[in-house]
Amino acid sequence: MKDLLTKLAKNNYVFVAIVLLVVILSLRFIVLSIPVRIDQENTEITIPKGRNLSQIAEQLQEREIISNPNSFILAAHLMLKSKSLKAGFFNLQKVKHYRSLIRTLSTSQVHSVRITVPEGYQVKQIARLLAGQLNFEYDEFMHYMNDTTVLRQLGIESPSLEGYLFPDTYDFNDSDNSLIVIQKMVNRFHEMVDDSIRNAIRASNRSLHEVLALASIVEGECMNDNERALVASVYVNRLRKRMRLESDPTIQYIIPDGPRRLLNNDLDIDSPYNTYKKRGLPPGPINNPGIKSIIAATCPAKTDYLYMVAVGDGTHYFTSDYDSFLKAKRRFQHVRRKVARDAKRGK
């Protein structure tokens, strides 16, 4: 009798196990067969790095690809893929249901995006450039501009990222978020501003931040590489004589609708960056300078130049004499007015 009861109990366990297996398989089939909504606006999706299963489910719901995040999460567990979903760019054209969606999202499809960040771009210009091509918004990038925690973690002794996002050509991943992009650009800055440059900066009796402020002015003034050290010398000489720098690029930095042709009223703006009113360097960089401008600001040419005038072809006229400066300025203004008149007449 005892043996019979034991046998029956075992059979019951087997029966229950079979029933549970059938239920699980049926549930798996039903859940994994839930259709997804893929239309023309949803054929592509980028999953940022660091997102977990719940966050991915929320993103899919926001895109109206799925209607119920919980059922998607259950489907991922049933497929044993709850920790296998990848970051990256995914094409969903062939996706029909949860099964094919989860298979697609668990296959890495990271795409590289090559972007050139020009020398002299301000942080806000970099944010617009990158947000248009990568998976984050302009405001998200700008949020980190003055984030003290991020600045400290990146080794930046400055109240802002301005000046420390190195201009270069980058191969970003299309899943890179704004913080990853910032880290890559600051890391490139630390690579380029190497020990030899930092030693030269220390020898100049200026801080890295001061050199970057000067370099950003040089970057804003120069189109010709051969002039960078000369332009730096003008501002270094003016600093030594405690003359105002009177640099137009510093005004461009504080006008809200720049860059544009400056007006006389712009020179009266009350700002610590207005070098027409304030003596010394501005509080920080006004853009993100390239390595040539950084080197020029570190080791400016040895000259007695105090003035320079743009002559209209991308170069400058340099002088240490104020009267010569005024004559050159009037000469250039005359040429500019003539060009404007000729253009108006259609010549």
Average pLDDT, the chain: 88
Question: What does each C-alpha distance from 290 to 64, 97, 188, 216, 273 come to in angstroms?
Answer: 44, 50, 11, 8, 20
Q: What pLDDT was estimated at residue 15?
A: 62
Q: What pLDDT was estimated at residue 346?
A: 64
**Interval 208-212 mean pLDDT:** 97
Domains annotated for the chain, with CATH where assigned, are 34-110 (3.30.1490.480), 112-192 (3.30.1490), 195-305 (no CATH), 306-347 (no CATH)
* β-strand partners of 269: none
User: In percent, how much of the chain has pLDDT > 90?
Assistant: 56
The span from the CA of 338 to the CA of 347, in Å, is 11
pLDDT tens string 121-140: 999 999 999 997 887 899 99
pLDDT tens string 85-115: 888 778 888 888 888 888 888 886 667 789 9
Q: What pLDDT was estimated at residue 1?
A: 56
* β-strand partners of 307: 319
CB 102 within 8 A of CB 76: yes
**Interval 28-56 mean pLDDT:** 81
User: In percent, how much of the chain has pLDDT > 70?
Assistant: 87
Pairing of strands 307-310, 169-173: unpaired
pLDDT tens string 162-189: 999 999 999 998 778 899 999 999 999 9
* CA 36 and chain centroid, separation: 34
Does 120 score more than 50 pLDDT? yes
Q: What pLDDT was estimated at residue 85?
A: 86
pLDDT greater at residue 48 or residue 206: 206
Does 343 score more than 70 pLDDT? no
- Return the minimum-mean-pLDDT range out of 92-96, 265-269, 295-299: 92-96
pLDDT greater at residue 217 or residue 344: 217
The span from the CA of 128 to the CA of 139, in Å, is 9
Q: What pLDDT was estimated at residue 5?
A: 46
Q: What pLDDT was estimated at residue 342?
A: 64
**Interval 137-159 mean pLDDT:** 95
**237 contact partners, CB below 8 Å, separation of at least 6:** 303, 304, 305, 306
